[in-house]
A and B are shown apart, each in its own frame.
Chain A
């Protein structure tokens, strides 16, 4: 199963764009990149996912490089409520119906006023 590498922590000024990078150099062709975030003391919240094309929804944009070895989650106008741990994960795709999401330790994003 592909692993991901993310910076341990990042800062961002309120109102500015937050760009969170993720490396997944061992990703295989049929594996999706997922992003979740976890606000303190809550369960993780789904943000966005993609395979090879860039994706956008009401929460964020996901930019995946052409070789799919890295991606960037973009929060276009960060607010204080976006302070959270952000997880970039790749869908594990074992044989049969086995699949699980491999979670790293994520990036702790602090949005400062």
Chain B
């Protein structure tokens, strides 16, 4: 089986712009979670989707949003980018909502200038 894929792998944006990141889970996995990773904060949970519905949400401002499609692929969007949004954005998939073992993609590295 192919692993979790994320596109693009690298991205450079400027302040005020918006960005959309994409994640394709492992085939058959229906739960997708997103994390932000920065050197000082470690991994921070953004949100989790299952069956096209957001089921869980971390403590991030409304500029961060996401969605999941019927094929379980997910996108996250960050609007009005700030310098502090520069980070590695990780997507993880799992078989079910209550399936705790998560499989991570390689991440999208976002740099905001």
| B17 contacts the other chain (CB 8 A) | no
User: Are A101 and B97 neighbours in the complex by a CB distance under 8 Å?
Assistant: no
User: Are B102 and A46 neighbours in the complex by a CB distance under 8 Å?
Assistant: yes
| A68 contacts the other chain (CB 8 A) | no
User: Are B58 and A100 neighbours in the complex by a CB distance under 8 Å?
Assistant: yes
Using A43-B106, A43-B107, A44-B90 as known contacts, say yes or no to A104 and B42 having CB atoms under 8 A apart: yes
Using A43-B105, A44-B104 as known contacts, say yes or no to A98 and B43 having CB atoms under 8 A apart: no
Q: Mark A88-102, 1 if CB is under 8 A from B, else 0.
A: 000100000111111
Contacts of B101 in A (CB 8 A): 34, 46, 49
User: Are B42 and A32 neighbours in the complex by a CB distance under 8 Å?
Assistant: no
Give the nearest-CB partner of B43 in chain A.
Answer: A103
Using A43-B104, A49-B100 as known contacts, say yes or no to A100 and B4 having CB atoms under 8 A apart: no
User: Are A103 and B56 neighbours in the complex by a CB distance under 8 Å?
Assistant: no
| B48 contacts the other chain (CB 8 A) | yes
Interface residues of B in 69-113 (CB under 8 A from A): 90, 92, 97-98, 100-107
Interface residue count on the A side (C-beta < 8 Å): 21
* Among A46, A49, A104: residue with most chain B CB under 10 A: A46
User: Are B56 and A91 neighbours in the complex by a CB distance under 8 Å?
Assistant: no
Partner of A46, one of B42, B97, B103: B103
User: Are B45 and A45 neighbours in the complex by a CB distance under 8 Å?
Assistant: no
User: Are A99 and B56 neighbours in the complex by a CB distance under 8 Å?
Assistant: yes
Minimum CB–CB distance for B69 against chain A, Å: 20
A102 CA to B45 CA in the complex, in Å?
Answer: 8
Interface residues of B in 21-50 (CB under 8 A from A): 33, 35, 42-45, 48
User: Are B106 and A42 neighbours in the complex by a CB distance under 8 Å?
Assistant: yes
| B55 contacts the other chain (CB 8 A) | yes
Q: List 13 A-B contacts (CB under 8 A).
A: A34-B101, A43-B90, A43-B105, A43-B106, A44-B43, A46-B101, A49-B100, A98-B55, A99-B98, A100-B33, A100-B45, A101-B45, A103-B45
Chain A contact residues, CB within 8 Å of chain B = 32, 34, 41-46, 49, 87, 91, 97-106
- Which 3 residue pairs are nearest across A and B when measured between Cβ atoms? A43-B104, A103-B43, A100-B45
